[in-house]
Amino acid sequence: MKPIERRRRRLFVLAPILGLAITSCSGSGDQSALDPKGPIARDIDNLWLLVFWISVVIFVLVEAALLYAIRRFRERPDEDFRPKQIHGNTRLELMWTVIPALILAVVAVPTVAGVFNVREIPEGPGVLEVEVIGHQWWFEFRYPAYTNAAGEPLTTASVLHIPEDTKVNLVMTSADVIHSFWVPALNGKRDLVPGNTTNLTLIADDPTPDGDPLPGQCAEYCWLAHADMRFKVDVDTQAEFDAWVAAELEPVVVPTAGAELEGWETFQAVCTACHQATVSQPDGTVETVGVALAPNLGHFWGRGYFAGAKYEITDDLMAQWLDNPSDLKPMDPDRNDIANGRVLGMPDFGLDAAQIDGLIALLKSWE
């Protein structure tokens, strides 16, 4: 094979690899960790940049020395030349021992300090505590400092609301398998382990724009719908957060007529086997109905997202979901064990069009 043809073949092989390398370096993706939105994420980003540029400098120097040595001391035809041997050169051996040790120290000091900073559990009156429970395949959020008229803590799913510039202590566990909670813009990953609690601190600089919350993701493979186990973080001003809490603590109203009433009857007959909601009955009685095995449906429509935050809530998508949930998200409801609290997805209940329309009307009234 001619040298030119060899070079062309190598170029054809290397070009797509180089293209993949270039396209994978974007820092503008939805879940990019290179666009920090809080002080903890910024500390992690600064440490990464420090290590990155130190690595770049070392790579350039080492490769330059290697290329120089290859060219300067290459074997030449008809030349009996042996480069000067440096084995046993104390000065050189000290240099290539001390210099790497100093480089490691420069990297280690901020790394260790950063690890302790990230793992610090905030305490004090200004700290907001949120309990996070991982389920297959959605995240549940409870705010123990806020309770409704039924004595239940404020409970929601898929969207985590936090106030700006506030230390938020997440107390996390899992209801089934190991999950991992990750909001790239606010902090690193932390595992959720069944039977144990772990902590993660979130601090956000500024409120998120309306309709553009920060994305989060389960970062530990948890089987069938792992890729669709997502959530959103809505950062509010303190006034917005207080208003959201007040609205969420209000019980949703049991309808007395129309399509909403038909939806309520279906809700009681079907949905309460796994879902809960705190409701106000027509006589003014406040009670929590249902079982807390699936997302709480109180104020459901106002969340904006459902199915583990995979979809935005719309009439059409909700109708598809109620008609056959597994068409929109991979699940395994045939293995549900309600008696033992094990839910692996929402089954197809065979609802007719009137029941679906009624449930949508009910959930929309519970915004």
pLDDT tens track for 298-342: 999 999 999 999 999 999 999 999 999 999 999 999 999 999 999
pLDDT number for residue 89: 83
Domain 252-365 fold: Immunoglobulin-like (2.60.40)
Nearest to 136 by CA among 363, 348, 356, 331: 331
d(CA 233, CA 156): 12
Nearest to 266 by CA among 305, 322, 225: 322
The domain 128-249 having CATH identifier 3.40.50.300: the answer here is no
pLDDT tens track for 229-240: 999 999 999 999
State the chain's mean pLDDT as an integer. 93
d(CA 60, CA 7): 25
d(CA 97, CA 113): 24
128-249 matches 252-365 in fold: yes
pLDDT tens track for 239-288: 999 999 999 999 999 999 999 999 999 999 999 999 999 999 999 999 99
Cβ contacts of residue 41 below 8 Å, gap of 6+?
A: 33, 184, 185, 186, 187
Q: How confident is the model at residue 30 (pLDDT cuts 50, 70, 90)?
A: confident
pLDDT tens track for 201-210: 999 999 999 9
Q: Are strands 159-163 and 230-236 parallel, antiparallel or unpaired?
A: parallel
Cβ contacts of residue 204 below 8 Å, gap of 6+?
A: 37, 38, 162, 164, 165, 166, 186, 214, 233, 235
The domain 31-119 having CATH identifier 1.10.287.90: the answer here is yes
Nearest to 287 by CA among 277, 297, 275, 300: 277
> By CB neighbour count within 10 A (0-12 exposed, 13-18 middle, 19+ buried), where does 278 fall?
buried
The residue extents of the domains of the chain are 31-119, 128-249, 252-365
Q: How confident is the model at residue 190 (pLDDT cuts 50, 70, 90)?
A: very high
pLDDT number for residue 78: 74
pLDDT tens track for 68-111: 989 888 877 777 777 777 778 888 889 989 999 999 999 999 99
Q: How confident is the model at residue 25 (pLDDT cuts 50, 70, 90)?
A: low
